[in-house]
Amino acid sequence: MKKAETHISSYSSHAIVLIVLLTLTTISVLVTKWHIGAYTVAAALIIASIKVRTVIFHFMHVKFESRFIKLMISGVFVLYALVIIITFIDYYLR
């Protein structure tokens, strides 16, 4: 009865996600060759974050998971961001 609720991702959707991920990889490799200084780090990290979000949502199927799992995952990332921010505040102000 509940089985019908399980979402099955199609093969083509997985293939499209891979194409998106490979395109983003190409962009991040090219961006570092432009020598835009400090922005390189920011660009590389932003692209990596988009890639991570894509993998979590599509390959890890979180897009179709319960709200509880979604909340937990977002919570963990917020927690990690806080750890980074607090560490750097400590690092720069000591």
Partner 1 sequence: MSVQESHSEYIDSETGKLGMWIFLFTELFLFGGLFLVYAVFRAKYSESFHSAALELNTFIGTLNTVFLLTSSMTVAMSLTAIQKNQKKLALFLVFVTLLFAALFMMNKYFEWSHKFELKLYPGSEVLKNLPRGELLFFGLYFMMTGLHALHVLIGMVLLSVNLVKIKSGAVSQNHYLHLENSALYWHLVDLIWIFLFPLLYLIT
Tokens linked to 78: 């917020």
45 binding partner 1? (CB under 8 A): yes
69 contacts 62 by C-beta, under 8 angstroms? yes
> Of these, 27, 52, 71, 78, which contacts partner 1 (CB under 8 A)?
52
21 in contact with partner 1 (CB under 8 A): yes
- C-alpha span between 81 and 83 (Å, rounded): 5
CA angle 34, 36, 40 (to 5 degrees): 95
Euclidean distance between CA atoms 31 and 44, whole angstroms: 8
Shortest distance in whole angstroms from residue 72 CB to partner 1: 7
Count CA within 13 A, CB hemisphere, residue 65.
15
Minimal distance, residue 93 CB to partner 1, in Å: 13
Contact residues toward partner 1 (CB under 8 A) are 2-3, 6, 8-11, 14-15, 17-18, 21-22, 25, 28-29, 32, 40-41, 44-45, 47-48, 51-52, 55-56, 58-61, 65-66, 68-69, 72-73, 76, 80, 83-84, 87-88, 91
